[in-house]
Chains A and B, each alone.
Chain A
Amino acid sequence: MTTAEITQRAHGFADLPGLIARMTGAEKHVPAANSTLDALWVLYDRVLRVSPETADSAERDRFLLSKGHGPMSYYAVLAAKGFIPVETLDTFGAYDSPLGHHPDRLLVPGVEIGSGSLGHGLPLAVGTALGLRAQGLTGQAVWVLIGDAEFDEGSNHEAVAFAGAAGLEQLNVIVIDNSSATHGWTGGIAARFAGEGWSTATVNGRDHEELYAAYTAAHPGRPHAVIARVEPKN
């Protein structure tokens, strides 16, 4: 099989470790990258209505990676789904590469936001949901992925309270919970969302069927939070 044939064939979940292995360096980001792998794959493979062909369409679903650290899983999924050439992964972190150690929306097709500084994705997603609704685009979902330690950021709490009060049904949050928040969250993260009127589900973040069921659960009139628990970081 030639390189071109490998590039063009459809990729599955089993290909992701190999794609991630093409990116080198930034070893400290590897655990962070792996924590999101299953959640991202199930979302892109089975739920999110966006493709390389519709990446600029107003009617696409939006996925905002807020937890911009350790984006290797994200890049691997984007490559597997054809948003970026697989070969691009080899350039990860290089001066002329579009793939930085934090993603940049102006450099990578299909990337909705530039992220890295924590606590920006959820407020941006709130605005995106408001913007879609104001334009009558009510069938489009807005997804944002944050980490449990990122949930520490006050800007997220501003967004959680407002989105619940405003009943932003189009908004969906995935929280990857690898118990990395310094002080933890008493009662669990879902309770914080539920307290602000969100629909919530807490699932095993490695179980694809559980993730799929949580992603596709109906939540009329309310935003939805899926807490995906994975093995602790330390």
Chain B
Amino acid sequence: METMRDRFIDVTSRMLDEDPRLAVVLADISAAGFAGAAAAHPDRVVNVGIREQLMIGAAGGLALTGMRPIAHTFASFLIERPFEQVKLDLGHQGVSAVLVSAAGSYDWPAGGRTHMAPGDVALLDTLPGWTVHVPGHPDEAELLLRDAAAAGDDKVYVRLSAHRNELARPVAPGKFLTLRQGSRGVVLAVGPMLDAVLAATEGLDVTVLYAATVRPFDGEGLRAALGERAEVVIVEPYLAGTSAGEAHAALADRAHRVLGLGVPREEHRHYGSIEEHLRAYGLDAGSLRERISLQLW
């Protein structure tokens, strides 16, 4: 099955043909996939080797000359390892880039903790001005990547994962999508968590919102989806509670409750599969149904 990362390589290679301002900076990850694009655009597809600090610094330098850099590697090495470069070489310099990750929080459980980055979005939340897209399907990833590449002066993080939903949804960048309507509260499913949330809420009297963009947070969309009960459950594929502060801010003028579900802080020293890890985190459909029901009934 096509992954979002496959689509990223494909669509970015085509965008390089179309837009002379784009450049791709790699740190060996996905370099083989970009071989064709590198041959066609040797000056605009740069593999710096396994050097993530340099990858972000170089992206900042490219942006200083007016280019639109796209930097890509696994989330652990794109956001967490060179975090000071993300803070200083982009934000502090007043320039921007598109950061595209793969592997997310639990894509390769057999690889262990070193390749898990459930804190990436929370880390970016400590910096101003980042747009964060969390697509749940390759088609959504393509739309959001094209939007990110064209967003000239925006700092954009596109978080790609092998975990995906069966169907693409008609997402619009920055807007939550209403998939179901009910009266007992709102369940906000982020990116690849949607299928499990839909299964978990089957037959429940709740509204289901879908977010493929989490920053800026569509607080207006959330407010509009609430009925009399300001009950919110957010299900995210990264650190539990990452978006709770955004929801609280959106509902600051009314009494409300927010439950944040996602990947726990505790390290799970187990290998295995994505499904096994989602179960261990309480993010499979059965566990989600229990936790959502407890909150909204």
A-side residues, CB < 8 A to B, are 58, 105-106, 112-114, 117, 119-120, 122-135, 137, 154-155, 158-159, 161-162, 165-166
Contacts and interface: CB of A to CB of B under 8 A. Distances in A.
A204 to B, nearest CB: 30
Interface size class of B (residues with CB under 8 A): 20 to 34
27 contacts: A58-B65, A112-B64, A113-B93, A114-B92, A123-B60, A123-B61, A124-B89, A124-B93, A126-B54, A127-B57, A127-B58, A127-B64, A129-B61, A130-B23, A131-B23, A131-B64, A131-B65, A131-B66, A134-B62, A135-B67, A137-B65, A154-B53, A155-B53, A155-B85, A158-B48, A162-B49, A162-B54
Contacts of A132: 65
B266 interface: no
Nearest to A132: B65
B48 A120 contact: no
Interface in B34-61: 43-44, 46, 48-49, 51, 53-54, 56-61
A158 B53 contact: yes
Interface in B245-269: none
Given A114-B93, A162-B48, A128 B61 contact: yes
Contacts of B51: 158-159, 161-162
A126 B57 contact: yes
B20 to A, nearest CB: 8
A133 B64 CA distance: 13
A127 B85 contact: no
Contacts of B147: none
Interface of B: 23, 25, 43-44, 46, 48-49, 51, 53-54, 56-67, 69, 84-85, 88-89, 92-94
A127 B43 contact: no
A127 B93 contact: no
Contact of A127 (B44, B49, B62): B62
Contacts of B94: 105-106
Contacts of A58: 65-66
Contacts of A112: 64
Given A105-B94, A131-B66, A120 B57 contact: yes
Nearest to A124: B61
Contacts of A122: 57
Nearest to A134: B43
B65 A135 contact: yes
Nearest to B44: A134
Contacts of A129: 61
Given A127-B59, A135-B65, A155-B57, 6 more contacts: A114-B92, A122-B57, A123-B57, A124-B60, A129-B61, A159-B54
Nearest to B58: A127
A138 to B, nearest CB: 10
A154 B48 CA distance: 14
Nearest to A126: B58
A162 B171 CA distance: 40
Nearest to B61: A127
